[in-house]
Structure 1
Amino acid sequence: MIYIALSVFCSVIVAVLLKLAKRYEISIIQAVTVNYFTALTLCFFLFKPEVSLLSESAPWPIYIALAILLPSIFLVLAASVKKLGIVKTDIAQRLSLFIPILAAYFIFKEGFNQYKLIGLGLGFLAILLTFIRKSDQEKKSNNWIYPIVVFIGFGVIDVLFKQIALYKSLPYTTSIFTVFAMAFVVSIAIVAYLVVTRKTKLQLVNLACGLILGCFNFGNILFYMKAHKALSENPSTVFAAMNLGVIVVGSLVGILVFKEKLSKLNYVGIILALVAVVFITLSQNAVR
């Protein structure tokens, strides 16, 4: 369980760093670019990807889609944390698991049981309750669109990564390395454009923040994979503990550390989100 705890810790720290970015005037896109370089480097030394196995038959369209989506959704994630806080953003990210579940039903023709249906229903209700705004000023804003994009974006990314996992001709770690490398190139292109058009300036503080962000972002992936390896006979335990852990710890950090204000309905939404993840986990056990 130590790997799960470390993965949860790294995931929440990423959200905290994004929350602090505005306070210290960090350029998110520059930090994200360095983040992918850091993750790419760590992936190379720790996973030893077999790049020589890459060929024209590799799932390049999926790699390209992920290379574009990853930095893009990361920027939206940062905006969501900035505008709506850690609590609502973490819940949106974790409940995005419902999109690959729906994809499994409509695309991969997997069956649904009663637990999965209940979990989906509670999950969507949790989303509605969690994102209800408190004041008239908040209701007039369009900030709610950020967690919605996070919800959809991470769901699509999860589906694409699952498709890569099904491609048995290449080790999964090689695919991850390739995606990180391409995402890094896309991020560099964005930064280069912003620098040339003088919309941003390169600063060392962004480099430092990106290195830290990259370490924790990669740590989240590394420990999550190690948890699945250590508990290979109980993947649903890893799945539930990870998602529940991030929702609970993220909510506590947002409320206690950053004093994020939530309504009673928002708290009900958090509880429903936890229950929804439990039912999804039960549905996985039922299938087995």
Structure 2
Amino acid sequence: MMYLTIAVLCSVAVSVLLKILRQRNIDIRQTIVAGYPVAFLLTWFLLKPDISGLSLLGSAWGIIIALGVLLPAVFIILGRAIAAVGMVATDAAQRLSLIIPIVAAFLLFGEMLTGTRIFGLVLGFLALGALVYRPQQGGMDKQARQTPLWLFGVWAGYGIIDILFKQVAKQGSAFPLTLFISFGLAGLLLFIYLLITRVRWQGNALMAGVLLGALNMGNIYAYVRAHQVLSESPSIVFTGMNVGVIAVATIIGVGVFKERLNRINIIGLLLAVGCVAVLFLA
């Protein structure tokens, strides 16, 4: 249970860090780009990717390139969503992204869609709708109107990344090597983009990147180790990770950052927990 707890805490800590950076007007893009070299090196030391497997990647390179673009993009969207709706709704939307691989498995890969899964998917979409709900107010500004889009971006982005990782694994590529290359490519592409846009570098943003990279890799490593240690109880890992993140994020978001949730949002959180439980049982 120690690894599972660490995975949950690291995942929520990423959202906490991004929220604090937003509050202090720190350029999150710079923090993200500084975090990738840290995650890159930690992947090398902790997961020990087999570089000799590069020649076996083949057609998986297209997926790896897509990951290199999506990984930093989704992090930026995550920061925007946290600023717009708070970490409670954002982390719940991230956990609900598990819906997308399930739908893809049915539509693209020919898997059977059972009644239980349909019920779980319905719960998930209802939860997402409830989480993005905000009471109508006169004279809404542009940022307020874009709020559902940021949350949808988090949901869709993490769901697509999950599909890409699963497809790479099916093609026989080692997960550590895929992660290693994807981190390196993501950091390089974002760095080139920032150079082209002639960004004004912020020392505090780059320093925060060291912490972000460590937390991101800590989340992934602990989650993988939790599956290894609890190999006979994958349900504990799956449910514990998803429900745990929603619960801890809610406690911190409401208790520490004083985020406000309306009744519809609270129903959305409950539906999200129900969705996770039903999809596991399916």
Q: What TM-score range do you get, normalising by the shorter chain?
A: over 0.9
Is 1:149 paired with 2:149?
Answer: no
Q: How far off its partner does 1:135 sit?
A: 4.6
Is 1:237 paired with 2:259?
Answer: no
Give per-residue Cα distances to partners, 1:96-132, cap 9 Å, x unaligned: 1100001111122111222211111111111111111
Tell me if structure 1 keeps the 8 A contact 2:94–2:158: yes
Q: Using the alignment, how far apart are the partners of 2:201 and 2:222 within structure 1?
A: 32
State the match for 1:43 in structure 2.
43
State the match for 1:33 in structure 2.
33
Q: Using the alignment, how far apart are the partners of 2:203 and 2:223 within structure 1?
A: 30
Give per-residue Cα distances to partners, 1:77-107, cap 9 Å, x unaligned: 1000011110111111110110000111112
Count, aligned residues: 278
Q: Using the alignment, how far apart are the partners of 2:230 and 2:108 within structure 1?
A: 28
Q: Using the alignment, how far apart are the partners of 1:240 and 1:279 within structure 2?
A: 10
The verdict on how the C-alpha distance between 1:110 and 1:234 changes in structure 2, with shifts beyond 3 A counting, is farther
Q: How far off its partner does 1:27 sit?
A: 1.2
Q: Using the alignment, how far apart are the partners of 2:80 and 2:180 within structure 1?
A: 26
Give per-residue Cα distances to partners, 1:43-86, cap 9 Å, x unaligned: 11111211122026251100000000111111011000011110
Which amino acid is 1:92 matched to? A
State the match for 1:104 in structure 2.
105
Q: Using the alignment, how far apart are the partners of 1:134 and 1:23 within structure 2?
A: 24
Is 1:6 paired with 2:1?
Answer: no
Alignment of 1:1-288 (within 5 A): 1-55=1-55, 57=58, 59-136=60-137, 141-168=145-172, 170-195=173-198, 200-283=199-282
Q: How far off its partner does 1:186 sit?
A: 0.9
* Greater Cα offset, 206-215 or 108-117: 108-117
* Greater Cα offset, 98-107 or 18-27: 18-27
Q: Using the alignment, how far apart are the partners of 1:163 and 1:251 within structure 2?
A: 32
Percent identity (aligned) = 39
When the two chains are superposed, the root-mean-square deviation of aligned CA atoms in Å is 1.4
Q: Using the alignment, how far apart are the partners of 2:256 and 2:97 within structure 1?
A: 25
Q: Using the alignment, how far apart are the partners of 1:97 and 1:204 within structure 2?
A: 36
After superposing on structure 2, the runs of 4+ consecutive aligned residues of structure 1 that deviate more than 6 Å are none
Q: Using the alignment, how far apart are the partners of 1:127 and 1:47 within structure 2?
A: 34
Q: Using the alignment, how far apart are the partners of 2:12 and 2:249 within structure 1?
A: 6
Q: Using the alignment, how far apart are the partners of 1:182 and 1:165 within structure 2?
A: 18
Partner SS for 1:136: coil
Q: Using the alignment, how far apart are the partners of 2:113 and 2:159 within structure 1?
A: 18
Q: Using the alignment, how far apart are the partners of 1:24 and 1:190 within structure 2?
A: 23
Give ranges in structure 1 of 5+ residues lacking alignment: 284-288
Q: Using the alignment, how far apart are the partners of 1:9 and 1:2 within structure 2?
A: 11
Q: Using the alignment, how far apart are the partners of 2:32 and 2:194 within structure 1?
A: 10
* Greater Cα offset, 126-135 or 13-22: 126-135
